[in-house]
Structure 1
Amino acid sequence: MTLTILRLSDPGLNVAYRDSGRGEPLILIHGVGMQSAAWGPQIAALSGSYRVIALDMPGHGGSDPLPQGSQLPDFVAWCRTVVQALDLGPVNLAGHSMGALIAAGFAASFPELTRRVALLNGVYCRDAASRRAVQTRAGQIQNGQIDLETPLARWFGDTPAEVAAKAQVAEWLGAVDAAGYATAYTAFANGDATYADQLPLISCPFLAMTGDGDPNSTPAMSAAMASLAQQGKAVTITGHRHMINLTAAPEVNAHLLTWLKQPATQKELQ
């Protein structure tokens, strides 16, 4: 599937995306260092019933970067601009890793544009040691010290499915624009608590899903986020780590289909 380029009139950026299927719109946002192609298994499984639009995040794939120093709210605002430019109306929104942070911020900030929201391998309120570690990595990336092997070792085991996914992810990481990667990773490092106190505002169907072997996007984080959302559900995928959309695609797709079939009702705060 080829990329389509959308030119945003404001702020004048190109956005690349993959568009497949018809029906209710489902927006997919990948994580730092990836690109829209990482959603291949979900596009194949879900585009028979939904219009699936997988975005290249700013500074990734074919999308222009946001200015250096942009933080998570800037990426959320970018997502809103894209949804409005595509004239989609209320959307279903699923994000992975940093994409999950964007999706949660979007759902909290723009409920009128959100039917349902799903967070895959999302982070939430890191402890002090984890926050220092990820901010240190962000500083190294800003200084041009890009270590690809450490995250790959953390994200994947040695099963045949994980080895195959690891090779593909390594290719995407190796192709990412260094400056765009640095800007996005810094926003990711600083954004784990940005919308934490707004999660109770999310009243649409909310799914938080991760792998039981993911040390940085833990099942406890997913459970905490789901407990705050008004219609939250947490799912843990056993035997998988950080890239569940690739390594556990059939199970992930089944949970996404169940989520998409929930009535897109908004509950009122008590």
Structure 2
Amino acid sequence: MPQNFVFRTIELNGQFLRTAVRPGSSNLPPLLVFNGIGANLELVFPFVKALDPDLEVIVFDAPGVGGSSTPGTPFRFPGLAKLAARMLDYLDYGQVNVIGVSWGGALAQQFAHDYPERCKKLILAATSPGFFMVPGRPHVLLKMASPRRYIQPSHVVKIAPDIYGGAFRRDPDLARGHASKVRSSGKVGYYWQLAAGLGWTSIHWLHKIRQPTLVMAGDDDPIIPLVNMRMIAWRIPNAELHVIDDGHLFLITRAASVAPIIMRFLAEERQPAVIRPRAEPLAKH
């Protein structure tokens, strides 16, 4: 576990959020991470460690996950985006870059749409546009519907090759290492996260996302088939797609090769196109 994170638990109108900030000295805006369903913030540390050490990074446990409190009723994605904005206010951040993975990618889309002034650039990893997605295989989705893999570490070792694909098919040690970092806060929080996405879709407003967007997908992702990421990249006007030779958790399993792609994207200064006036025809004499 990285030792240079500053951990805080903050209260926002009765909701306690466990946060962790890796301070940085980069001129780039801090990177805010929206994690996957049921995933506590420690699970993203291998990816954060692969990024430029000067980049400031903000991670947190979603309501009902890890060290954050479980609300009495579920948040929807707009409510979670609002909570994230208030968290940034509390921690004294203005504009950030945003990365969202899987379930967190849906939240990242909502945040970029609802708070465009807070989100400079957007990175979407292994995610979908929600209700109108092309679903994964039924037996995989059935396993994803249960929080058992976050409650019984031995269970995730058993099912990881089927649900995560990629490197998890070849290396059982990856699943054991992943399971060792899990910090579950119970079933209710997981079901609340599932409820956040019921009936939700971004497909009808993705074209309104104007931030430069990096879309990243694994070519062996049993949960989110690649076609979904192609759809997102097609719908967002200023998006580019990178396909990674791995599965659903490529941010972790391929961190060393993915991190430089992300850092180049964050450092790139894109200039708007200059539309020059049409030249007037020369006067005839």
- Say if 1:34 and 1:172, in contact at 8 Å, map to a contact too: no
Which residue in 2 is equivalent to 1:185? 194
- Say if 1:156 and 1:162, in contact at 8 Å, map to a contact too: no
Matched, 1:104 2:109: yes
Aligned in 2, Cα 1:186/1:51: closer, same or farther, shift over 3 Å?
same
Q: Distance in 2 between matches of 1:14 and 1:167?
A: 29
1:226-241 correspondence to structure 2 within 5 Å: 226-238=233-245, 240-241=246-247
Count how many residue pairs are aligned between Structure 1 and Structure 2. 260
Q: Distance in 2 between matches of 1:58 and 1:107?
A: 20
Aligned in 2, Cα 1:229/1:157: closer, same or farther, shift over 3 Å?
closer
Aligned in 2, Cα 1:34/1:65: closer, same or farther, shift over 3 Å?
same
Q: Distance in 1 between matches of 2:30 and 2:167?
A: 35
Q: Please, what TM-score do these two structures have when normalized by structure 1?
A: 0.83
- Say if 2:160 and 2:168, in contact at 8 Å, map to a contact too: no
Q: 1:135 deviation in Å?
A: 8.2
Aligned in 2, Cα 1:171/1:186: closer, same or farther, shift over 3 Å?
farther
Q: 1:85 deviation in Å?
A: 1.6
Q: Deviations over 1:16-38 (max 9, x none)?
A: 12211233211112101211112
**Which SS does the other structure have where 1:87 is aligned?**
coil
- Identify the match of residue 221 of structure 2 among 214, 228, 233: 214
Aligned in 2, Cα 1:128/1:166: closer, same or farther, shift over 3 Å?
closer
Q: Which runs of 5+ in 1 are unaligned?
A: none
Aligned in 2, Cα 1:135/1:4: closer, same or farther, shift over 3 Å?
same
- Say if 2:40 and 2:65, in contact at 8 Å, map to a contact too: yes
Q: 1:153 deviation in Å?
A: 2.8
Which residue in 1 is equivalent to 2:56? 51
1:109-258 correspondence to structure 2 within 5 Å: 109-124=114-129, 125-127=132-134, 134=141, 138=145, 148=156, 149-150=158-159, 153-156=162-165, 162-173=171-182, 175-188=184-197, 190=198, 193-238=200-245, 240-258=246-264
Which residue in 2 is equivalent to 1:22? 25
Name the amino acid aligned to 1:251: S
Q: Distance in 2 between matches of 1:133 and 1:213?
A: 13
Q: 1:141 deviation in Å?
A: 5.6
- Residue range with higher mean Cα deviation, 166-175 or 100-109: 166-175
Q: Distance in 1 between matches of 2:125 and 2:136?
A: 22
Aligned in 2, Cα 1:137/1:52: closer, same or farther, shift over 3 Å?
closer
Aligned in 2, Cα 1:265/1:90: closer, same or farther, shift over 3 Å?
farther
1:60-75 correspondence to structure 2 within 5 Å: 60-75=65-80
Question: Which has the greater radius of gyration?
Answer: 2
- Say if 2:105 and 2:124, in contact at 8 Å, map to a contact too: yes
Name the amino acid aligned to 1:228: R
Q: Deviations over 1:153-191 (max 9, x none)?
A: 321456698433311333445734221111112324x26
**Which SS does the other structure have where 2:113 is aligned?**
helix
Q: 1:107 deviation in Å?
A: 0.3
Q: Which runs of 5+ in 2 are unaligned?
A: 274-285
- Identify the match of residue 263 of structure 1 among 264, 269, 272: 269
Which residue in 1 is equivalent to 2:85? 80
CA-based RMSD of the aligned residues comes to: 3.1
